[in-house]
């Protein structure tokens, strides 16, 4: 039996810290270097890149990082596995090969594709694959309008590439956890029906795939941590049974604690049955233990067979949009907003009812008796969206006519009359047997890997969690975040919001009091939405999914926070009646 394999992360998104690959390779022992460059919005960005530069729809920053660390990785036997290939994994692999040639190095480079369904859409629809929107049921319609259509592949193409001797593996749209699960499965020789082992690796991959979010980045209780001016990236050391230890290189900023790991476990999830192409990982079976400073063990994870379908992320051009902001200063804010709105449409070249989508909001950031000019300012915000670029530009230009003719104190703080294209995200599913993975070692043959998981009848029943009764007694009006942490994010047009406690007593109160109805009271934007609630007593957490909060996805959302990154912190700022016994003693900030 092989010993554990240490898999490091050096990127949580396209644009993350460029020096992270070198930090992880040179900062301590690792066996595999991975990174996640893709998100649903990133695929749209890469599509626009590919329009300008055919074959260039990949993350070029990864190629830059390979130039920095390729030699050291080869010298130390460190494998590299990444989804930076995006829409053009073959182009990314060739670019890496050019770097290797420039450096006089000779790595074996492989790429995995097969995820790109865009050229196959007419064929699939003709064969009866409906590709209906899995939230709304809307039929796919004319497939020629799509810019991207990519299935989420699993880990077995990566395993095949590593078995073929690859030093560097570049993939297209795999799941975020696949770049971790693949090396673990290869190293330990797991089989496709090793559900618990695969599930454990998926959980570890989920924890580290967003980089520094596992080591204190974006953490609710950040004031308790030090070194966040340059937070270290994480690694996962995965054992043969699928258990893992999450850590970071010694001497780096941030921390790995039960809290930081719990927060990342909650990021962008839905049901505790976390669906994937290789396994359904049961997040309600994970057990966390702080085994040493900056070391958290993940044990007990159970797995079930995956669904027979793969998720497909599709993006289409939604039209053109412009976002305008007008400052409303001082007194009579509501009256000023009414006049600005009326004057805007009186001056616009098209009527309000002629624009496909108009969203207007007054953002009350002003304060009573303001001590600075900024504290006196509220915002009138308007977003215009339409398939016709000329309509959007024509209407937006009306903002100029308001400058000297309407309200006192008006000034534009952001936005122009420029109409920019935006994308609409559409999720669907496709039968897994229709999307095999293709593995190519540069200079060698193409190998086809089946995406279908073996059939099995496995149902996991999570063990019960012993909890105390919810605390009663005297209460204090205080922000929810004095006791509870949160982590939120986007999943297409939906948002997830995970809330976690740091003691069993606090979780007992949370589970009893933070119902769907109470959440909708605290966050009025959710009042008219379908909200799902998923308790996770094993990690003292409750997860919510707010359907439709982000409208048609991040690129189309008209919310100020289009990715729902701040949703959890908004909830934490709401004042509620908290038991006195749960409130911590005040603590000073940690050193930077």
What confidence tens digit (pLDDT) does each residue in 270-310 have? 999 999 999 999 999 999 999 999 999 999 999 999 999 99
State whether 402 and 500 are in the same domain. no
Can you tell me the mean pLDDT for 229-233? 98
How far, in Å, CA of 266 to CA of 412, rounded? 38
Q: Tell me, what's the pLDDT at 15? A: 93
Spell out the residues 6+ positions from residue 156 whose beta carbon is closer than 8 angstroms to its own.
Answer: 182, 185, 192, 278, 437, 449, 450, 451
Judged on CB neighbours under 10 Å (0-12, 13-18, 19+), 362 is: middle
Furthest C-alpha separation in the chain: 78
Q: Tell me, what's the pLDDT at 592? A: 55
Q: With beta carbons less than 8 A apart as the criterion, state whether 134 and 492 touch.
A: no
Sort strands 79-82 and 168-171 into parallel, antiparallel or unpaired.
Answer: parallel
Residue 343 has pLDDT above 60, yes or no: yes
- For residue 428, is it within any domain? no
Residue 343, token pair as written in the block: 């004057």
State whether 414 and 333 are in the same domain. yes
Q: What is the 3-state secondary structure (H, E, C) of 498-562?
A: EEECCCHHHHHHHHHHCCHHHHHHHCHHHCCCCEEEEEEHHHCEEEEEECCCCCCCCCCCCCCCC
To 10 degrees, the CA torsion angle through 57, 58, 61, 67?
Answer: -120
Question: Given phi > 0 = left and psi -120 to 50 = alpha, else beta, which region is 139?
Answer: beta
- For residue 481, is it within any domain? yes
CATH code: domain of residue 409: 3.30.70
Residue 133 has pLDDT above 80, yes or no: yes
Q: Tell me, what's the pLDDT at 92? A: 97
Q: 135 or 247: which carries more pLDDT confidence? A: 247
Nearest to 89 by CA among 64, 58, 46, 45: 58
How far, in Å, CA of 560 to CA of 331, rounded? 24
State whether 232 and 94 are in the same domain. yes
The CB density around residue 309, as the number of other CB atoms within 10 Å, is: 18
Q: With beta carbons less than 8 A apart as the criterion, state whether 164 and 109 touch.
A: no
How far, in Å, CA of 283 to CA of 278, rounded? 15
Please write the tens of the pLDDT for every residue from 346-375.
999 899 999 999 999 999 999 999 999 999
pLDDT, mean over the chain: 95
Q: What is the 3-state secondary structure (H, E, C) of 186-223?
A: HHHCCCCCCHHHHHHHHHHHHHHCCHHHHCCCCCCCHH
Confidence of residue 416 (pLDDT cuts 50, 70, 90): low
Please write the tens of the pLDDT for every residue from 179-190.
999 999 999 999
State whether 265 and 324 are in the same domain. no
Spell out the residues 6+ positions from residue 181 whose beta carbon is closer than 8 angstroms to its own.
Answer: 154, 155, 198, 201, 202, 205, 278
Can you tell me the mean pLDDT for 511-519? 98
- For residue 50, is it within any domain? yes
State whether 188 and 94 are in the same domain. yes
DSSP code of residue 463: P
Residue 555 has pLDDT above 90, yes or no: no
- For residue 540, is it within any domain? yes
How far, in Å, CA of 191 to CA of 100, rounded? 33
Where do the H-state alpha helices sit in 397-466? none
Q: With beta carbons less than 8 A apart as the criterion, state whether 110 and 440 touch.
A: yes
Q: Tell me, what's the pLDDT at 227? A: 97
Question: Distance between the two ends of the chain, CA-based, in angstroms?
Answer: 43
Domain finish residue from 407, 423, 439: 423
State whether 392 and 332 are in the same domain. yes
State whether 267 and 192 are in the same domain. yes
State whether 92 and 223 are in the same domain. yes
Q: With beta carbons less than 8 A apart as the criterion, state whether 344 and 351 touch.
A: no
Q: Tell me, what's the pLDDT at 591? A: 53
Please write the tens of the pLDDT for every residue from 451-508.
999 999 999 999 888 899 999 999 999 999 999 999 999 988 999 999 999 999 999 9
Helix, strand, coil in percent for the chain, rounding step 5: 30, 25, 40
How far, in Å, CA of 400 to CA of 394, rounded? 11
How far, in Å, CA of 286 to CA of 367, rounded? 45
| 314-345 exposure pattern, b = at least 16 Cβ within 10 A, e = fewer | bbbbbbbbbbbbbbbbeeebeebbebbbebbb
- For residue 57, is it within any domain? yes
Confidence of residue 403 (pLDDT cuts 50, 70, 90): confident
State whether 522 and 396 are in the same domain. no
Where do the H-state alpha helices sit in 348-495? 389-396
- The domain of 487 spans 475-582
- For residue 432, is it within any domain? no
Number of alpha carbons in the 13 Å side-chain half-sphere of residue 552: 17
Q: What are phi and psi of 27, to 5 degrees?
A: -85, -10
Number of alpha carbons in the 13 Å side-chain half-sphere of residue 253: 17
Nearest to 571 by CA among 496, 519, 525: 519
State whether 174 and 257 are in the same domain. yes
- For residue 288, is it within any domain? no
Q: With beta carbons less than 8 A apart as the criterion, state whether 510 and 484 touch.
A: yes
Q: With beta carbons less than 8 A apart as the criterion, state whether 303 and 199 touch.
A: yes
State whether 175 and 43 are in the same domain. yes
- For residue 339, is it within any domain? yes
Domain finish residue from 361, 391, 423: 423
Number of alpha carbons in the 13 Å side-chain half-sphere of residue 45: 16
Confidence of residue 588 (pLDDT cuts 50, 70, 90): low
Number of domains in the chain: 3
State whether 261 and 328 are in the same domain. no
How far, in Å, CA of 7 to CA of 15, rounded? 21
């Amino acid at each position: 039996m092989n010993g554990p394999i240490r898999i490091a992360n050096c990127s949580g998104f396209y644009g993350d810290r460029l020096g992270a690959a070198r930090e992880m390779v040179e900062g301590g022992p690792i066996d595999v270097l991975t990174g996640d460059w893709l998100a649903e919005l990133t695929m749209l960005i890469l599509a626009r890149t590919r329009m300008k530069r055919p074959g260039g729809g990949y993350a070029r920053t990864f190629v830059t990082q390979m130039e920095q660390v390729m030699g050291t990785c080869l010298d130390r036997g460190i494998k590299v596995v990444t989804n930076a290939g995006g829409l053009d994994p073959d182009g990314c692999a060739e670019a890496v090969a050019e770097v290797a040639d420039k450096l006089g190095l000779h790595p074996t480079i492989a790429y995995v594709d097969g995820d790109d369904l865009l050229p196959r859409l007419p064929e699939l629809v003709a064969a009866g694959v409906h590709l209906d929107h899995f939230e709304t049921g809307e039929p796919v319609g004319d497939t020629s309008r799509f810019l991207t259509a990519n299935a989420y592949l699993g880990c077995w193409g990566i395993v095949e590439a590593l078995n073929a001797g690859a030093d560097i593996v570049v993939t297209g749209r795999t799941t975020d956890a696949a770049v971790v699960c693949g090396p673990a499965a290869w190293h330990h020789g797991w089989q496709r029906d090793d559900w618990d082992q695969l599930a454990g690796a998926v959980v570890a991959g989920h924890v580290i795939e967003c980089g520094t979010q596992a080591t204190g980045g974006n953490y609710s209780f950040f004031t308790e941590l030090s070194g966040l001016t340059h937070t270290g990236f994480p690694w996962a050391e995965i054992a043969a049974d699928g258990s893992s230890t999450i850590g970071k290189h010694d001497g780096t900023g941030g921390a790995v604690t039960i809290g930081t790991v719990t927060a990342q476990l909650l990021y962008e999830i839905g049901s505790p049955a976390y669906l994937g192409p290789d396994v359904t990982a049961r997040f309600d079976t994970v057990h966390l233990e702080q085994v040493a400073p900056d070391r958290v063990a993940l044990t007990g994870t159970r797995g079930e067979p995956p669904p027979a379908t793969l998720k497909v992320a599709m993006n289409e051009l939604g039209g053109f949009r412009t976002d305008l902001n007008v400052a409303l200063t001082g007194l009579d804010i509501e009256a000023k907003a009414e006049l600005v709105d009326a004057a805007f449409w009186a001056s616009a070249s098209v009527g309000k009812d002629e624009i496909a989508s108009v969203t207007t909001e007054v953002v009350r950031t002003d304060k009573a008796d303001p001590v600075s000019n900024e504290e006196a300012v509220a915002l009138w915000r308007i977003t215009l969206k339409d398939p016709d670029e000329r309509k959007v530009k024509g209407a937006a230009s009306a903002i100029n006519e308001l400058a000297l003719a309407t309200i006192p104190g008006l000034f534009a703080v952001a936005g122009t009359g420029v109409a920019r294209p935006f994308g609409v995200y559409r999720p669907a599913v496709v039968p897994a047997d229709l999307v095999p993975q293709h593995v190519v070692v540069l200079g060698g043959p193409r190998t086809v890997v089946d995406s279908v998981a073996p059939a099995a009848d496995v149902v996991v029943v999570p063990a019960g969690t012993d909890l105390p009764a919810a605390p009663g007694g005297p209460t204090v009006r205080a922000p929810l975040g004095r006791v509870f942490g949160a982590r939120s994010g986007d999943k297409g047009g939906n948002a997830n919001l995970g809330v976690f406690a740091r003691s069993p007593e606090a979780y007992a109160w949370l589970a009893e009091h933070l119902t769907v109805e109470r959440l909708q009271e605290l966050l009025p934007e959710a009042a008219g939405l379908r909200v799902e609630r998923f308790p996770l007593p094993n990690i003292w957490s409750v997860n919510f999914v707010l359907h439709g909060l982000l409208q048609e996805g991040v690129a189309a959302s008209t919310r100020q926070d289009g990715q729902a990154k701040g949703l959890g912190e908004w909830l934490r700022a709401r004042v509620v009646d908290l038991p006195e016994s749960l409130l911590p003693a005040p603590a000073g900030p940690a050193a930077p």
